[in-house]
Amino acid sequence: MSYFVRRIFFSFFVIVAVAVLTFVIMRLLPGDPLTTWLGDRPTQEQIDKARRELGLDQPLYVQGWKYIGNVARGDFGRSLRTRRPVWDELKEKFAATFELTSLAMFFCLLFGIPVGIAAARHPDSPWARLEKFLSLSGVAIPVFWLGMLLQILLAGKLNWLPLQGRGVLPPPEHSYTGLLLLDALLNLEYDTFADALQHIFMPALALSLASFGIITRSVRSAMGQVLHKEYIRTARAFGVPQKRILFVHALKNALIPVITVSGLVYGYLLGGTFLIERVFDWPGLGQLAVMSILTNDMPVVSGVALLYAFVYTLINLALDLFYLWIDPRITKNAV
Amino acid sequence: MFRNRYTKTFYLSSGYLLLLALLALLAGGLTPYPQDAGNVMHFTERLLPPSLSHPFGTDSLGRDILTLVLFGARLSLMAALGVVGLALVIGIPLGLLAGLKGRWLDDLIMRVCDVFLAFPPLLLPVILAAALGPNLKNAIIAVAVSWFPWYTRILRAQILTVRHLPYITAARSAGASDIWLMWRHILPNSMAPVLVQATLDMGYAILAVAGLSFIGFGARPPAIEWGLMITASRATFLDFWWTAFFPGLALFITVFAFNLSGEGLKKILATGDES
C-alpha cells in the first residue's frame, strides 16, 4: 500500500510543480497583462489600481505562493480577457475537448482492435501489411494537414459534412454534462444531436486516424504473443470455436498492454488537440490555451496547464490501479 | 544486394533524406524560379493548378510551390537537427550526472524530468515559444527544452545497467579514474539507444516545429517553412487543394523517412547486421 501512497504524493508534487513552472514562464512573457485587463490607453491611476488589485505589485514568489493557495481552495482566479472565472472557462472548453477526444478514441478502438487481431492471426496477409503501413505512417502524418485533406474531400468536394465548428443549432435546453451529443440525447433534441454529430465527425476522424496505428500495433504485438501460448493451443485442441478463442481467451490476456497504450494515447489526444482544434475551429482547451497565451491571459494559461497535468496524472494513476486489479501478481514487484 | 529488409528500408529512407538535403541545398540552382523564394508576386500566375511548368502548382502569390517546398526543406531539416541536437546537449550531461552520481542528484534530476514530461505534448513548447518570442529559432529551443528529459531518462537507465558490468569493474580495479571510466567505457557503451531514439525523434521534431509554425508560434513570414506554407494555404485550400497538399505531403514523407531510418537503425544495431 505504501507504494500507492508514494505514488499519490508524487503525483501531487508533479501537479504543483507544473503550476509553478507555468506561472514562472508566463511571467516572463513579453507585454503587460494589465493591457489585457484594462484595454488600450488606461490612465496611470487605473494601472496602479489594477496592479494592486491583481497583486502584480508584489514579488514573484509571493504571487506564486498566493496562486497555489487560491488553487488549493478551488479558486483559479478570473480571466483577464473575458473577466469570467477561469474555472467556468475551463469547464466549458474541457467538455468540448473531452467529447472530441473520446469519440476519436472510440473510433481508434473500434477499428484498431479488429485490424490488429487480423494482423496477428495472419502475419503475411494484406491485413498485416495494412497494419504495418498504418502504424508507421499514422505517427508520421501531420494531423493538421490530415484534417485539411478531409475538409477538402468531405466538405469541399463532396459537401457531405460541415467544414468546421461544433454545431449551428442552439445548444440543448438543459446542459447536464456539457457534452453536446449527450446533452442533446438527454433533452430528446434529435436535430441538435444530428447537427453535433455531423460537426464532430471530421475532427474526430482526423484525430483517430493519426493515432490509430499505435493502437493496432499494440493489439497486433500483444495478440501475436498470446496466440502462441499453450493454453490457446489447448483450447484449439478441445475444439473451442475460433471466435471464442480469439475474442474471449486471447483478447482478455492481450488487454494489459493494449489498455496501457490506449491510456497513453488518450492522454496524448487530449493534449494534442491544439492543432486539430485550430483546423476545425473547435471551441476546446487547445484553442483556449492558444488564445490566452496570445493575449497574455495568465490565470487561464496556468489553469489550462494545471488541468492538463491533473488529467495526465490521473490517467497514469488509473492505469497503475488497473494493472493491479487485472493482474494481482504485479503488486509484489511494484512495492 | 541487401542482407535483409531492414537494411533495405534503412538505406532507402536515408537515401531519400540525403537526396532531400542535397536538393534543398541546391534549390536555388535547380529551380527555374529561384526568385520565388523571396517576397515576390506574380499576378498572372496566381493559383495555377499543377502542370508541367509548375508540377506542384502555384500559391496565392503566384509562386512555384515545388520551389517553395525545396526551399522549405532547409528549415525543416535544420529544425530537426536543431531540436534533437539541443535536446541531446541538455539531456546527455543530466543523464550522465543522474546515472553516475546517483543519490539526491539522481532524484532531483529525475523529478525535474517528470515535471517536464507531465505537460501535454504541445503546451510547454507553445508557452515557451510565446515567452521567448515567436520565431523559428525560439520554436526549436522551446521544443528541445520540453524534449530533453527523454534522453536523460534513456541514458540514465542505460548507465545503470552498464556500470555494473564486469568490464567496468575490471577497468576500475586496473586503476582507471572515474573520468576515464566515464568517457572511455560507460558513455560509449550507453549511447546506442540514445542515438537510435534521437534518429527516431528527428521526424517528430519536424512535426512539432511545423505544428508550432502552423498555430503561429514558430517560423514567421517571410521565412519559408512547410508548416507555415500550410497555414498560408488556409485561405485557399478548399478551392485550390494543391496549395495545402504538397507542403503537407513533403512533411509527411520526410517524417516517415526519418521514422523508417530510425526503425532500421534500431534493428541493425540490435542484430549487429551492418551490411
The answer, for B16 touching chain A at a CB cutoff of 8 Å, is no
The answer, for A167 touching chain B at a CB cutoff of 8 Å, is no
Nearest CA to A124 out of A240, A249, A220 is that of: A220
Over its length of 275 residues, how does chain B's per-residue pLDDT go in tens digits?
455 666 788 888 889 999 999 988 887 777 777 777 777 777 777 777 888 778 888 888 878 888 888 988 999 999 999 999 999 999 999 998 888 877 888 888 988 888 888 777 788 888 888 888 888 999 999 999 988 999 999 998 888 888 778 888 888 888 888 788 888 888 888 888 888 889 888 988 999 999 999 988 888 888 889 999 999 888 888 888 888 999 999 999 999 999 888 888 888 777 554 43
**Reduced 3-state DSSP string for B225-254:** CHHHHHHHHHHCCCCCCHHHHHHHHHHHHH
Give bridge partners of residue B58 from the DSSP assignment.
B64
Say whether the peptide bond before residue B222 is cis (omega within 30 degrees of 0): yes
pTM: 0.85
User: DSSP letters of chain B?
Assistant: --SSHHHHHHHHHHHHHHHHHHHHHHHHHHSS-GGGGSS---GGGTTPPS-SSSTT-B-TT--BHHHHHHHHHHHHHHHHHHHHHHHHHHHHHHHHHHHHH-HHHHHHHHHHHHHHHTS-TTHHHHHHHHHH-SSHHHHHHHHHHTTHHHHHHHHHHHHHHHTTSHHHHHHHHTT--HHHIIIIIIHHHHHHHHHHHHHHHHHHHHHHHHHHHHTTSS--TTS--HHHHHHHGGGTTTT-THHHHHHHHHHHHHHHHHHHHHHHHHHHHHHT---
Nearest CA to A117 out of A222, A3, A232 is that of: A222
Give the SS3 label for residue A278: helix
Query: Pick from A30, A144, A163: which is nearest to B214 by CB?
Result: A144
Domain B2-24+56-271 belongs to what architecture? Orthogonal Bundle (1.10)
For chain B, give the number of residues. 275
Is residue A26 a contact partner of residue A64, using CB atoms and an 8 Å limit?
Answer: no
Number of other residues whose CB lies within 10 A of the CB of residue B115? 20
Please name the amino acid found at residue B219. Answer: A
Give the SS3 label for residue A122: coil
The answer, for B235 touching chain A at a CB cutoff of 8 Å, is no
The answer, for A86 touching chain B at a CB cutoff of 8 Å, is no
- A152 neighbourhood in chain B, CB within 8 Å: 237-238, 241, 244-245
Angle between helix B242-271 and B187-214 (nearest 10): 170
Compute CA distances B74 → A144, B22, B28, B38, whole Å. 21, 10, 11, 14
The pLDDT tens digits of the residues spanning B131-184 come to: 888 889 999 999 999 889 999 999 988 888 887 788 888 888 888 887 888 888
pLDDT of residue A100: 93
Compute CA distances B244 → B209, B228, B251, whole Å. 17, 10, 11
Decide if B126 and A289 are in contact by the 8 Å CB cutoff. Answer: yes
Task: Kindly report the nearest CA distance between residue B221 and chain A, in angstroms.
Answer: 18
Please name the amino acid found at residue A81. Answer: R
DSSP letter assigned to residue A40: S
Could you give the count of Cα atoms lying within 13 Å of A261 in the half-sphere of its Cβ?
21
3-state helix, strand, coil in chain A (%, to 5): 75, 0, 25
- Chain A's closest residue to B212, CA to CA, is A275
The answer, for A274 touching chain B at a CB cutoff of 8 Å, is yes
Grid cell listed for B231: 497555414
The C-alpha atoms of residue B263 and residue A251 are separated, in whole angstroms, by 27
Radius of gyration of chain A (CA): 24
- Chain B's closest residue to A315, CA to CA, is B118
- A21 neighbourhood in chain B, CB within 8 Å: 115
